[in-house]
Homo-oligomer: A and B are copies of this chain.
Amino acid sequence: MAGELDTLAINTIRVVAADIVQKANSGHPGAPMGCAPMAHLLWGTFMNYNPRDPKWLNRDRFVLSNGHACALQYLMLNLSGYDVPMSELQRFRQIGSITPGHPEAGITPGVEVSTGPLGQGISNAVGMALAESHLAAVYNKPDFTLFDNFTYVICGDGCLQEGVSSEACSIAGHLQLGHLIVLYDDNHITIDGDTNLSFTEDVLKRYEAYGWHVQAVAEGDTNLVGLKSAIEAAQKDPRPSIIKVRTIIGYGSGQQGHHKIHGSPLGAADIAETKKRMGFNPDQSFFVPDDVRAFYGRRAAAGAERQQAWNELRAKYARAYSKEAADLARREAGELPADLLSKLPKYGADAKPLATRQLGELTLNALAGDVTDLVGGSADLNPSTLTYIKASGDYQSGTPAGRNIRFGVREHGMAAICNGMAAYGAIRPYCSTFLNFIEYCFPSVRLSALSHFPVIYVMTHDSIGLGEDGPTHQPIEAIPLMRATPHLNVWRPADGNEVNAAYVSALRQHKIPSVLCLSRQAMPHIAASSLDDALRGAYVAVKETAALQIVLVGTGSEVSVAVEAAKAFGAGARVVSMPCREEFLRQDKAYRDSVLPVGIASLAVEAAATSGWTDVVHYAHGINRFGASAPAPDVFKDCKLTAGDVVETAKKLVARFPAGSAPVLGPL
């Protein structure tokens, strides 16, 4: 059912993918061999892309959700003319190569998102399709279709078993993201063996229940015609589409259909036999026939032409809709409006006590008018997290220009969707839930950090201060978790100026995601606070009035506890507010020493597990237990986090390290 050139190309993909894994002596040959026909159809027939400009805004997106099959993706990028040379395919899974063991965004041209942790890619793709539909609604005009790309996914059983994909695909159905097309590689094989061992649900029926358009293609190893017509139908159908493609893992090899082929090289003998059967020279590795190269070369040229036409359309658009075009250009470049800071809420010395989630609502809404790229929402907690952009409405299938996404009670899907929107470009996604439930979506937060997606996580109810909801809702280990994660800024602001700084810093990041930890409860304004000081990550909030004995370092709602404790301790106590430890540690030594003077005992005060603090201060007063269910002041007492408790610790610490004797901390 496939033409001669198609067959040649598909078999080339199969054997070179096997070569890649064999040379590395590590990796997964089975899925690349089984998925070769789908990949050939996508890159060879359906997808619009220009390998010379992997960031073309209206390119079709491709996500390999079963990231372990990445030998396939790297090979397709090579064939299609991306800057992924054969020499890098030969350095698969080696140090410093652009062909790591699972795809990582930012490493390899043409790789959109980091996949491998199962379920993430397909969920990212939901975000990409959402981004496309939103940008189309905002920017397309009659005769100016700037955005109409498709997002294609290849995934396996594993991705569809993961809860994150259930969440994301349920919302994709609700939102009717018609430009999302998923090819499900149904090979009946998992690592353990046959899918009958654990995965016997009716997948297509489930997706139909989500509101998807579902199709099945039999004999996907050879049935190109069937595959092609299914993809065409998917393009036309207004719903998100999933196509179940029955394949044989490792098709064409001697071990086809066996689960051992999932994660181990074929071995030289099987590869040689496979090549022979397919008409290749068994002595040649990494061999691509000229006809195949020429075929993909023509596709690359066609893609370049298509982008050229789009560029011309966009130039014409810029003349007809100069304001929209300028805004889109700013957003694509990741720039902020020039006068952003002037829009921030102002707080005088007598600003009234508010919860930082309320202050966050003020800042978000003050900025969102100009920062049109802010698009996001909460996991069914808008009345609590206060993250609704009031200047816009709901994003729904009938109102795709709305900037407020109702994610439902789906934290993990929400975060993965935000990664997808960030990957798409021209959108600065944010999302929101209670801080404790960042653990529901942390695998996606980690991938924001690894992938350099500057997603903004607005996490409220950030401590035992949430009170009555109790230990199941009170974060303890969440803040240490986030601070231990590379490439992640963790903000815990204490007042309006610090909340402003948190949002400004988060928006200025191009490569680092930020978590904003905001309180449920009100807290007093810090007289000495300012945007600039807060942006440095830490600053002196209350200066000592006698010889310095101790520095109390508070974050968020515990800055006011520290202020009270300092008063009770005496004139030799200083209070430092440290809304962002990561930013503080990026300051120069002179500034750091001016805040935390050498030789002086320092004590952190934070309503969270103390783990991690003693890299920066000499001791930490926190909560190394689960919280309690009661009104917040009672919980603070129960957890020994009152000013009196802090003073007691401070005195003991000064006894351990009298002024001048506190040891040096920090990097050797």
Which residues of chain A have a CB within 8 Å of any CB of chain B?
A: 24, 26-27, 67-68, 93-97, 100-102, 104, 114-119, 157-159, 161-167, 170-171, 173-174, 190-192, 197-203, 205-206, 208-211, 378, 380-384, 394, 396, 406-413, 436-437, 439-440, 442-443, 446-447, 449-450, 467-473, 476-477, 480-481, 483-487, 609-612, 614-615, 619, 624-626, 628-631, 634-635, 637-638, 649, 652-653, 656-657, 663-664, 668
Contact = CB atoms under 8 A, between A and B. Distances in A.
A513 to B, nearest CB: 13
B468 A624 contact: no
B619 A611 contact: no
A192 B378 CA distance: 9
Contacts of A436: 117
A101 B469 contact: yes
Given A95-B629, A162-B167, 13 more contacts: A162-B410, A163-B166, A166-B167, A199-B408, A201-B210, A209-B209, A439-B439, A442-B442, A485-B609, A614-B614, A614-B615, A649-B668, A663-B663
A26 to B, nearest CB: 4
A638 B94 CA distance: 11
Contact of A628 (B95, B163, B170): B95
A380 B629 contact: no
Nearest to A621: B668
Contacts of A157: 409
Contacts of A473: 101-102, 116-117
Contacts of A615: 610-611, 614
Contacts of A668: 619, 649, 652-653, 656
A208 B201 CA distance: 9
Nearest to A442: B439
14 contacts: A26-B468, A104-B472, A116-B469, A159-B409, A162-B411, A163-B164, A163-B410, A171-B198, A206-B206, A476-B485, A480-B481, A480-B611, A484-B609, A485-B609
Contact of A95 (B384, B406, B630): B630
A159 to B, nearest CB: 8
A196 to B, nearest CB: 9
Contact of A116 (B407, B408, B472): B472
A114 B192 contact: no
B191 A384 contact: yes
A446 B192 CA distance: 27
Contacts of A190: 380, 408-409
Contact of A161 (B117, B159, B170, B173): B170
Contact of A486 (B380, B470, B626): B626
A561 B655 CA distance: 37
Contacts of A628: 95, 100
Contact of A26 (B200, B203, B467): B467
Contacts of A487: 626
Given A162-B167, A164-B163, A614-B615, A406 B197 contact: yes
Contact of A173 (B95, B201, B470, B480): B201
B468 A27 contact: yes
Question: For A26, A162, A173, A447, which residue has the most chain B Cβ atoms within 10 angstroms?
Answer: A162
B161 A483 contact: no
B198 A407 contact: yes
B102 A470 contact: yes
A442 to B, nearest CB: 5
Contact of A409 (B161, B471, B637, B663): B161
A93 B470 CA distance: 8
Given A161-B409, A191-B383, A615-B611, A100 B629 contact: yes
B406 A192 contact: yes
Nearest to A199: B408
Given A157-B409, A190-B380, A446 B439 contact: yes
A659 to B, nearest CB: 15
Contacts of A437: 117, 443
A117 B508 CA distance: 33
A161 B436 CA distance: 18
A569 to B, nearest CB: 15
Contact of A611 (B96, B411, B471, B611): B611
Contact of A439 (B382, B443, B477, B629): B443
A652 B413 CA distance: 45
Given A210-B201, A380-B198, A450 B635 contact: no
Contacts of A381: 191-192
Nearest to A114: B472
A487 B619 CA distance: 21
Contacts of A637: 95
A481 B436 CA distance: 13
A446 to B, nearest CB: 7
A394 B467 CA distance: 45
A529 to B, nearest CB: 27
Contacts of A165: 163
Nearest to A649: B668
B406 A198 contact: yes
A345 B410 CA distance: 45
Nearest to A476: B486
A383 to B, nearest CB: 6
B484 A480 contact: yes
A170 B202 CA distance: 10
A626 B200 contact: no
A141 to B, nearest CB: 29
